[in-house]
Amino acid sequence: MLVVMRNDASAEDVRGVVTAVEARGLKAHPIPGAQRTAIGITGNKGALEAPIFESLPGVLEVIPVSHAYKLVSREVKLEDSVVMIGDVPVGGRRLAVVAGPCAVESLEQTLIVATAVKAAGAHLLRGGAFKPRTSPYSFQGLGEEGLRILAEARDRTGLPVVTEAVDVEGMELVEEYADAVQIGARNMQNFSLLKRAGRSKKPVILKRGMSATLEEFLMSAEYILSEGNYQVVLCERGVRTFSDFSRNTLDLAVVPAVKQISHLPILVDPSHGTGRREKVAPLSRAAAAVGADGLMIEVHHDPNRALSDGPQSITPEMFEGLVKELRQIAPVLGRIL
């Protein structure tokens, strides 16, 4: 259920509704909008009695929310959300470019790549310190040492850092260093991790599970918002299909589908989405064209020797060329880069 406040409602009126909601053992989520504040109510088992809230001062109307996902839905918040990662806005008119290696391998490697992507125009640095690998024998990441390296790269380049937390136990450490916490495809339905991310003060980039439907994807985001963290960015990274020419099938159609239902920003990751270096630039251009709010791209200065995801990592030179193309495309789409 959604309580929509009048546009002249005072902060005290909003507090009054929150108190009334909480007094019933429910959770209130005030969502300020351009015109008026709405207050989402969660935690109710069945339908709530609208008249209880309709009579409170400052309330315009009370509307039932028809979808299972509520807080992520445009029914609750009409305007697009802009999530700040450090000083970088994700969502809105600007296309955000997240770039960096799949995994942090060493200080030298991270600084080379970070400096190069920064010079080419990236806004955010990515790099995994904790890697969810298919094989237990593959490189698992440098752990805390990797986080320290990312922090140093941030100090040197000014780029805010995005890095993955793979489990609840590791969340606190990642939060200490990261400007945004990534939740990976394999963890999209790790509900305890989602709830923990919902209690984090840091923005979260939630990647789509490799077999997740749109509804499952949005419900996972709903877990994070329902715990009080509204700073969520979605990321399409390809789903598994019968296609045998790429690692995954990048589902670009999900971008307009998300935009229709949800106010959350969505990035596209063409690196995991294709698994092949030569396909990253074409799919990046396509992602911008379908309305993605930005891109997440794996870059490595020596991709054939990368410790993870080398085949899909592009070189700094390729990245520079791609950003140049995106700069030309963005204005045509009414966006800036």
Residues that bind ligand PEP (CB under 6 A): 102, 128, 132, 184-186, 207, 237, 272
Query: With respect to Mn ion, which residue has the nearer C-beta, 293 or 309?
Result: 309
SS3 215: helix
Q: Is the Cβ of residue 146 or residue 184 nearer to ligand PEP in the bound state?
A: 184
Nearer to ligand PEP, 207 or 259 (CB): 207
Taking CB under 5 A as the rule, which mask of x and - marks residues 277-316 in contact with Mn ion? --------------------------------x-------
- Minimal distance in Å, beta carbon 206 to ligand PEP? 10
Q: Interior CA angle at 186 toward 183 and 190, to 5°?
A: 70
Element (H, E) at 151: helix 144-157
Distances (CA, A) of 300 to 127, 184, 306: 10, 20, 7
Identify what 275 binds: Mn ion, ligand PEP, none; CB under 5 to 8 Å per kind.
none
Coil, helix or strand for 22?
helix
Q: CB of 47: closest distance to ligand PEP in angstroms? A: 37
Q: What would the DSSP string read from start to end of 279-316?
A: HHHHHHHHHHHTT-SEEEEEB-SSGGG-SS-GGGPBPH
Select the residue whose beta carbon is closest to ligand PEP and give its number.
184
* Count of residues in the chain: 337
Relative orientation angle of helices 254-261 and 214-226, to the nearest 10 degrees: 40
As measured in angstroms, the least distance from the Cβ of 133 to Mn ion is: 9
Residue 185 site contact among Mn ion, ligand PEP, none (CB < 5 to 8 Å, cut-off depends on kind): ligand PEP
Of 237 and 263, nearer to ligand PEP (C-beta) is 237
Going by DSSP bridges, is the β-strand pair 161-164/180-183 parallel, antiparallel, or unpaired?
parallel
The helices-and-strands tally (H runs, E runs) of the chain is 11, 14
Distance of CA 300 to the CA centre of its chain: 22
Residues 68-127 that bind Mn ion (CB under 5 A): 102
In this complex, which beta carbon is closest to ligand PEP, that of residue 38 or of residue 83? Answer: 83
- Least Cβ distance, residue 316 to ligand PEP (angstroms): 18
Place of tokens 């955000």: 96
Q: How far apart are the first and last CA of the chain?
A: 37
Place of tokens 């009334």: 20
Q: State in angstroms the smallest separation of the CB of 151 from Mn ion.
A: 20
Residue closer to ligand PEP, measured from CB, 160 or 184: 184
Minimum CB distance to ligand PEP, residue 277 (Å): 15
Closest distance of CB 181 from ligand PEP, Å: 12
CB of 62 vs ligand PEP, minimal distance in Å: 39
Residue among 3 and 88 whose Cβ is closer to ligand PEP: 88
For residue 239, the cross-strand partners are: 249
- By beta-carbon proximity to ligand PEP, the closer residue of 56 and 98 is 98
Q: Which does 207 bind (CB under 5 to 8 A by kind): Mn ion, ligand PEP, none?
A: ligand PEP
List CB contacts of 187: < 8 A, sequence separation 6 or more: 132, 166, 167, 193
Closest CB to Mn ion: residue number: 102
88-90 and 83-85 strand pairing:
antiparallel
Q: Which does 132 bind (CB under 5 to 8 A by kind): ligand PEP, Mn ion, none?
A: ligand PEP
Binding site for Mn ion (CB under 5 A): 102, 309
